[in-house]
Amino acid sequence: MPPRCAVYRVQPFVAWRQTRIFDSPSTSRNGPLAITPSKKLEDSSMRVILLGAPGAGKGTQAGFITKKFGIPQISTGDMLRAAVKAGTELGLKAKSVMDAGGLVSDDLIINLVKERIAQPDCANGFLFDGFPRTIPQAEALKEAGVRIDNVIEIAVDDEEIVGRIAGRRVHPASGRVYHTEHNPPKVAGKDDETGEELIQREDDKEETVRHRLSVYHAQTKPLVDFYQSLAAAEGTPKYSRIEGVGSVEEITAKVFAALS
């Protein structure tokens, strides 16, 4: 049987984040949001998978979780780049596949994951960002004996996400981000400081957002059912669904409560 494969190419990161009022993992609308690191017991751990559609606010909450629990945020893209740069055996295998225009198999990705989480900074746990993406990957992770403690789903309605992302406007020269509803410029379509025109990025256009959402629902959303079904058995990850609408503080409080 051929190895399970998924699309893993090292490429520039495309940001999918909420509007500027939600951008920073250390600030909120009302000023700095204090996150106190947890005191970890030697036998405790926090191994987390964070699920949610593009624009649901996973990046913001991931920042809070990693800070509070002192764990690294691990993405497959960063992991591949690091392994290739370090010249590890697995990294060289992945590089040869990618250089040939091929797709990195799930089996190789799982081995890279096991190599990564064996590093000292993962002693208290880790947070998987963007992995697993499919049920075969989740099953491979389980078969490989990689323990997961919590699966958190940040749930946001599609129309809310479209409104969050499609309303963004950007000043190209400075990178300043506005939102037509939540954080509008003083003059519509103009940067507050320079008066120059604001643009809507291709990734922020409604048709692009809806396409990304359709891919998420077709490919990644089934993971929710997979982990929900697992949660009923002893020794399996706890699954929690968090409504991702409300203030940053409210959502973060719900996430931390689910992880407690």
Q: What is the pTM of this model?
A: 0.76
What is the SS3 assignment for 57? coil
133 is catalytic: yes
131 known ligand binder: yes
Q: Is 28 exposed, middle or buried (0-12, 13-18, 19+ CB in 10 A)?
A: middle
CA-based radius of gyration for the chain: 19
Burial 68-86 (b: 16+ CB within 10 A, else e): bbebbbbebbbbbeebbee
- Of 95, 116, 212, 254, catalytic: 212
169 known ligand binder: no
Identify the pLDDT of residue 230. 87
- Range name among 14-28, 92-106, 124-138, 224-238 with the lowest pLDDT average: 14-28
Is pLDDT above 60 for 254? Answer: yes
Give start and end residues of each alpha helix (H) in the chain.
20-23, 58-69, 76-86, 89-99, 106-117, 135-143, 158-166, 206-215, 222-230, 248-259
236 known ligand binder: no
Confidence band (pLDDT; 50, 70, 90) for 65?
Answer: very high
Q: Which CATH class is domain 39-71+124-259?
A: alpha beta
Q: Which of 42-56, 97-111, 203-217 has the highest mean pLDDT?
A: 203-217
Is pLDDT above 90 for 190? Answer: yes
- Of 17, 47, 58, 95, catalytic: 58
- Of 93, 201, 205, 210, catalytic: 201
Q: Is 190 exposed, middle or buried (0-12, 13-18, 19+ CB in 10 A)?
A: middle
Is pLDDT above 90 for 211? Answer: yes
Is pLDDT above 90 for 212? Answer: yes
- Range name among 14-18, 179-183, 206-210, 245-249 with the lowest pLDDT average: 14-18
What CA–CA distance (Å, rounded) separates 44 from 124?
Answer: 7
178 known ligand binder: yes
Identify the pLDDT of residue 2. 45
30 vs 87, residue with greater confidence: 87
- Range name among 7-16, 44-53, 66-75, 183-192 with the lowest pLDDT average: 7-16
Is pLDDT above 60 for 3? Answer: no
Q: What is the mean pLDDT of the chain?
A: 84
84 known ligand binder: no
pLDDT digits (tens, 9 = 90+) for 9-58: 443 333 333 333 333 333 443 444 555 555 443 346 899 999 999 999 99
- Of 116, 133, 164, 254, catalytic: 133
pLDDT digits (tens, 9 = 90+) for 113-153: 998 999 999 999 999 988 898 899 999 999 988 999 999 99
Identify the pLDDT of residue 79. 87
Confidence band (pLDDT; 50, 70, 90) for 221?
Answer: confident
169 is catalytic: no
**What is the percent of the chain where pLDDT is above 70?**
83
176 known ligand binder: no
- Of 164, 168, 169, 254, catalytic: 168
116 is catalytic: no
56 known ligand binder: yes
55 known ligand binder: yes
58 is catalytic: yes
pLDDT mean over 247-251: 94
Identify the pLDDT of residue 37. 54
What is the SS3 assignment for 131? coil
